[in-house]
């Protein structure tokens, strides 16, 4: 798997986590430590250049999805 595919997987999985937990954009953004606009970009497949690694930790601590899983294809390891 290459970095591009991992980035695509990350974006899809973030959206799946939000949908699974029935969260609105603002609430999910608050949980993972980004602005609502940044979250909308992520869900569209666009990762902000300056995205912090703390987002991965926030996803893990708030939703129990480890960094190893967040980059996997949702088809291989469904998290929702």
Complete DSSP assignment for 35-47:
-HHHHHHHHTT--
The per-residue pLDDT for range 7-42, each reduced to its tens digit, is 999 999 999 999 999 999 999 999 999 999 999 999
Helix axes 25-32, 3-20, angle to 10 degrees: 120
* Better pLDDT: 77 or 18: 18
Mean per-residue pLDDT for 45-62? Answer: 94
Which sequence spans correspond to the domains of the chain?
Answer: 3-70
Report the first-to-last Cα separation within the chain, whole angstroms.
Answer: 21
At residue 55, the pLDDT reads: 97
Percent of the chain whose predicted confidence (pLDDT) is above 70 = 92
> At the topology level of CATH, where does 3-70 sit?
434 Repressor (Amino-terminal Domain) (1.10.260)
Contact 11, 29 (CB under 8 A): no
Evaluate if pTM is beyond 0.85.
Answer: yes
At residue 43, the pLDDT reads: 97
b (16+ CB within 10 A) / e for 20-40: eeebeeeebbbbbbbeeebbe
């Amino acid at each position: 798997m290459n970095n591009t595919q991992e980035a695509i997987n990350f974006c899809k999985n973030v959206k799946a986590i939000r949908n699974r937990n029935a969260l609105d954009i603002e609430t999910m953004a608050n949980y993972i430590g980004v602005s609502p606009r940044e979250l909308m970009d992520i869900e569209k497949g666009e990762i902000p250049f300056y995205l912090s690694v703390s987002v991965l930790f926030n996803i893990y601590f708030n939703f129990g999805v480890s960094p190893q899983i967040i980059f996997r294809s949702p088809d291989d390891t469904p998290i929702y």
